Structure 1
Amino acid sequence: MRSKQIFHENFISRPYWWDAAPPVKRNVPPPETTDVAVVGGGYAGLSAALRLAGGGTRVAVLEAGDFGTGASSRNAGLVSGGNYLGKGLKGLSEAEAATLMGEAFRALDLVEEIIAAERIECHYERTGRVVAAAVPAHYTALAGTLDRLNSFAGSEASMLPREKQRTEIATDAYSGGMIVNRTGKLHPALYLHGLLRAAEAAGASLHSDAVVQTIEGARGHFELSTSRGKVRAREVIIATNGYTGTLTPWLRRRVVPVASYMIATETLPPDLAASLLPNGRTLTDSRRVLRFARMSPDGSRMLFGGRARFTPQAPQEAAPVLHRFMSEIFPQLKDFRVSHAWCGNVAFTFDFLPHAGEQDGLHYCLGCNGSGVAMMTMLGRKVAERILGAASAGAFERPSFPTRPLYRGDPRLFLPLVGGVYKLGDWLDRKRVR
């Protein structure tokens, strides 16, 4: 199928999730004074605001656009529970790894607790995930992590041999994999809307189109200049993740924004749709150039994503690449068209770990490394609790937050090189199998 033929006649270049939960405005000027100003209205910012307002603290959330335009309503809605730290654990002691994985384990519980307590209807299910091995060597590597995942993160994980993989995924493209039962999935935009409503109900004030231009002063006496006026605050939380910019240059040097692309297929025949991931699990794989998939909440469409490009590109231009990736895994989908295509920024860090803490009096929580639903919810909560009197922002308040020489926050110079190295590594893995 030629690329121009993959698009449905009603194709739209925006997140599928916005069909049910489009971005919302809170078109009210921010207050002149507040106890805590939160910069960024995604999962982390709203989670922090919910906890602070519930603790009796005045809090104002300042969002540069509408609420729901950022990554929190552009991701795949995969909810991890301590099983994804991966590269970030290399070089750490068993005790350090256990501490970090244990805290990430509790992030899944927190998401479930918030959804239940706030009665957020976001199609949440704890259905588990298949982590598919691209080549046999990756299956062996996954098996080597099994004991640690189950011991430190309670992952309820087991291996899926290749001869049984069709019981979980309708493809022969992989060499088996791992089933991680203690993970979930949700509708990311509906979850964001639920957090927003809960934070407002608790007393937080939310302000869209409030671009923060400067932050001056010191802890206890900050003044934020925004596109909607000045705000004085005792404390400030930076929760900008993959959209961290020149407002906070120290943080900008420590996160690498990477575009993650997704497509949704047109509505599929019911029997075909039900066969693709028959047990309702989500799918990720072991490639360096990651691919991931899930069914839509109503089970009628395949939602597929990955690193289609390592340079900025319009979603409709990346869609043919994702369609090809999807068809390689699920050949039965090659003749079905794309109804939606979109992208959003993921925030990677140089040590592949999320981070929370304080720098120059500013609290921060960022660096989701591609698994932000649970982690950013938890980091926002932890930073809020630090402001309310906790000793620290938890295990992810690390002793160092590394950067690299000459990096100033613009990854466009080196991401194509990284992408080339990753693609070469994946090609070599496949070559060794032949």
Structure 2
Amino acid sequence: MQLSDIRQSPYWHDQIGAPPTLPTGLPKTVDVLIVGAGYTGLSAAITTARGGRSTLVLDAEDPGYGCSTRNGGQISTSVKPSLDKLAAKFGVERARGIRMEGAKALTWIGDFIADEGLDCDFRRVGRFHAAHTPQHYEALVRDAEKMRQRENIESFAVPRHEQRSQLGTDAYFGGVVFSAHCSVHPGKFHRELLRLALGERVQVLGQCRVTRIARTASGFRVQTAKGPVEARDVIVATNGYTTALTPWLQRRVIPIGSYIIATEELPEATIDTLFPGDRIASDTCKVVYYYRASPDRRRVLFGGRVSASETTPLAGAARLRQDMCRIFPELEGVGLSHAWSGTVAYSFDELAHTGVHDGVHYAMGYCGSGVSMAPYLGMRAGQKVLGRREGVTAYDGLPFPTRPLYQGKPWFLPAAVAWYRWNDQRQFRKAIGMS
């Protein structure tokens, strides 16, 4: 197959059909205006609407255009820094609270999907986190044991000679299974959130860019591509698509492109060999790969960072396919059907952030682990707007760091990614030579 034959749109979009008809008119006033119609924004909107507030959600593109329908559909506990690293910065009690928010988000999304009866292929399949060197395997096992003892995070180690019971490859040196991690169809999940929001009389408008947010005596005057709106409260939920509309936030999130490919349909036996337990998978490389079988177990979906600087989905597809075939030689010669990318938002401290700045509520900076954290913190932001105590999280009041001279364009990223990729490859080559 020629690269030009690959569809440059998310595989997930093929599964959800035409979007519902949305209103085109803009109200003059609302109680709550939310910027961004992804997981965060729609979850916040559902919460405020159910709390009796008239709610409007605006998006510069179509609702769900961004990473909410472009991610890999993998759900973890979402918090990257370890308990020890967080304790060194914030003290043990606050560190435990931050780590617990990840566990709460994971529990919340499962309960929410079940309670609301959402049709989104949600499954608690567990994650196989693979070690790309023997040293990384030893560190993984030690860290997993700490998390079991101190945070009650369920896991078990899988040495290299048992690896194929979890993942059909010999490319790694064992790994750890995190049993509570989950998978979901991200496109269906977003569509179900949109359905819930519309059912609660939330007004959702796409192709309506917000160009200015100004304080007034009674709240905010929000200028949009379709005219002004007066709002009592505003929530910014733009994550990896944060712009100069909110310069304070733009200086605190780092937009990073992530790229994914989908194979053509494969024989059932091939998927059963590669993903015998239907685990989602990731690895210990600094430039991480993440992959899984599609919900219908007919394709492999393989994602990661493909180059030092941003590139096109087709250019990324060639690199991803090479690495996919290194891990799964059985896929050599298999064609690709889709290639796409999305933009995630990292923060300088690798933590999600939520709070209020200059009167505007926000939640963002999910660091590539936002499938559960984004709707969870969106819900909490909605509760804050409603004045409910349960809206307060361990993230509230944390410093939201930036760096001198940083204005939202990550000029430093190409050099950092190039270094990390070189070091990952060096470590792997050394490990292969020793094995």
**Do they fold alike, i.e. is TM over 0.5?**
yes
| Aligned: 1:201 with 2:199 | yes
The percentage of counterpart residues that share the same residue type is 38
Question: Offset at 1:274?
Answer: 1.5
Residue of 9, 15, 20 corresponding to 2:10? 15
| Aligned: 1:81 with 2:77 | yes
Question: Offset at 1:60?
Answer: 0.6
Matches within 5 A, 1:24-423: 24=19, 26-82=22-78, 84-86=80-82, 89=86, 91-92=88-89, 93-151=91-149, 153-218=151-216, 220-391=218-389, 393-411=392-410, 413-423=411-421
Cα shift readout 1:87-121 (whole Å, capped 9, x = no counterpart): 97473443333211211101112211221222210
CA distance in 1, matches of 2:219, 2:394: 28
For the 8 Å contact 1:83–1:155, the answer to whether it is kept is: no
For the 8 Å contact 1:6–1:338, the answer to whether it is kept is: no
For the 8 Å contact 1:243–1:257, the answer to whether it is kept is: yes
CA distance in 2, matches of 1:90, 1:328: 38
For the 8 Å contact 1:79–1:183, the answer to whether it is kept is: yes
DSSP-derived class of the 2:233 partner = strand
For the 8 Å contact 2:79–2:351, the answer to whether it is kept is: no
Question: Offset at 1:10?
Answer: 5.0
DSSP-derived class of the 1:64 partner = coil
CA distance in 2, matches of 1:147, 1:229: 56
Cα shift readout 1:18-70 (whole Å, capped 9, x = no counterpart): 00125736242221101110000000000000111111111111111111211
CA distance in 1, matches of 2:280, 2:190: 20
Cα shift readout 1:248-283 (whole Å, capped 9, x = no counterpart): 000000000000000000001111122111001100
Question: Offset at 1:396?
Answer: 1.5
Gaps of 5+ in 1: none
Q: How many residues align?
A: 428
Matched to 2:120, the amino acid is: C
DSSP-derived class of the 2:270 partner = helix
DSSP-derived class of the 1:397 partner = coil
Question: Offset at 1:334?
Answer: 1.2
Q: Which deviates the most, 24-33 or 283-292?
A: 24-33
CA distance in 2, matches of 1:414, 1:22: 39
DSSP-derived class of the 1:343 partner = strand
Matched to 2:15, the amino acid is: A
Query: CA distance change for structure 1 residues 269 and 180 in 2, over 3 Å: closer, same or farther?
Result: same
CA distance in 2, matches of 1:338, 1:136: 32
CA distance in 1, matches of 2:213, 2:51: 25
Matched to 2:67, the amino acid is: A
CA distance in 1, matches of 2:47, 2:81: 25
For the 8 Å contact 2:354–2:381, the answer to whether it is kept is: yes
Question: Offset at 1:150?
Answer: 2.6
DSSP-derived class of the 1:12 partner = coil
Query: CA distance change for structure 1 residues 125 and 101 in 2, over 3 Å: closer, same or farther?
Result: same
Query: CA distance change for structure 1 residues 302 and 90 in 2, over 3 Å: closer, same or farther?
Result: farther
Question: Offset at 1:82?
Answer: 4.9
Question: Offset at 1:154?
Answer: 3.7
Query: CA distance change for structure 1 residues 107 and 245 in 2, over 3 Å: closer, same or farther?
Result: same
Q: CA RMSD in A?
A: 1.8
For the 8 Å contact 2:80–2:350, the answer to whether it is kept is: no
CA distance in 1, matches of 2:87, 2:417: 21
